[in-house]
Structure 1
Amino acid sequence: MIFTDSSFYPDVSPGYLVRVIHQMSVAAIDRTLAEDGMTATQWMTLVSLYFNHADTCAGLARRMAHDKGAMTRIIDQIEANGWVLRQRDPDDRRVVRLTLTDAGRAAALSAKQKVIACWNGFLADWSEREVEDLVQMLQRLRNTMEESDACQG
């Protein structure tokens, strides 16, 4: 499908659909993790640290497509819960490294099981092949967007 003025509207717009799906999933995960005193965004941050996607606030903000100020507030919250430690880099005192505490690792892994159950619930009527295809297509789209300059004015 090539989009045209007459064929491009919200229900076929990849950006719109991805955004709505993201908002719906965050709301569902927020409800799922509420009893643990955790939000979906806090969980995504813990998991990003757990999988070593970044180890600084700025790195997490880039990786998770968040505003740096918002990421700082999220780190403040998870630090207050005892899930992360901030430590100055010994080689560059301007850099603050983030590490999960034992409690943070445990919270991330416990929440991961609940998030898995949530997504398995969303996809219960999908075949394993359909789920694999969806993930592959989303990964392909992400990679294409990372490498593309299609929207560079």
Structure 2
Amino acid sequence: MVFYTKTAFTPECSVGYQARRVHQLGQGLTEPIFADEGMSGTQWSALMSIWTGRATTCADLSRDLSHDKGATTRLVDTLEQRGWVTRSRAADDRRILNLELTTDGEAVAIRCRDRVIDYWNRLLVDWDKTEIETLIGLMQKLRITLDAAATEGRRP
């Protein structure tokens, strides 16, 4: 199926533009939640990636956050300095650094998570449950499509 045409392509109908704007607006509006804890949204995302098990190593975290290895190392350095994360070498492969949240790291991640939940619930108060579930389902489908394109090397 071909959806877009040269004559009917504007930012208002562009999936890429809409996704970027939603991300930018959401990030900007939620940043004060994290500032109250002395962290950034990116730092909180890293803590949540580790806490939920999506990232157990620096390489996993780099992929999950779409960061390069250098930026991820600096991010983990900061989290470690703050006492929120520990790094340990894998016993079977010394090149691998395993990541774990400290008790303080888990506590701050959960506090922020709860504030994020409250904030999004306030924003979505006028949406019905079906609308929210449909949006999440479509976003998950788009993410899977984009993950597959990246894995298969389908780039422009």
TM-score tier by shorter-chain length is over 0.9
Give the corresponding residue for 2:140. Answer: 139
- CA drift of 1:147 comes to 2.6
Any residues of structure 2 matched to 1:113-132 within 5 Å, and which?
113-132=114-133
Query: Per-residue CA shift, 1:49-102, capped at 9, x if unaligned?
Result: 001102111211112212222211211111111000011111111111111111
Which sections of structure 2, spanning at least 5 residues, go unmatched? none
CA distance in 2, matches of 1:28, 1:71: 24
CA distance in 2, matches of 1:5, 1:121: 38
Percentage of pairs with the same residue: 40
**Compared with structure 1, are the counterparts of its residues 94 and 150 closer, same or farther at alpha carbon in structure 2 (3 Å cutoff)?**
closer
Which sections of structure 1, spanning at least 5 residues, go unmatched? none
Q: Does 1:28 align with 2:26?
A: no
Give the alignment's Cα RMSD to 1 decimal: 1.6
CA contact (8 A) 1:33 1:114 kept: no
SS at match of 2:87: strand
- CA drift of 1:152 comes to 4.0
CA contact (8 A) 1:55 1:97 kept: yes
Any residues of structure 2 matched to 1:20-99 within 5 Å, and which?
20-99=21-100
- CA drift of 1:137 comes to 0.5
CA distance in 2, matches of 1:17, 1:68: 28
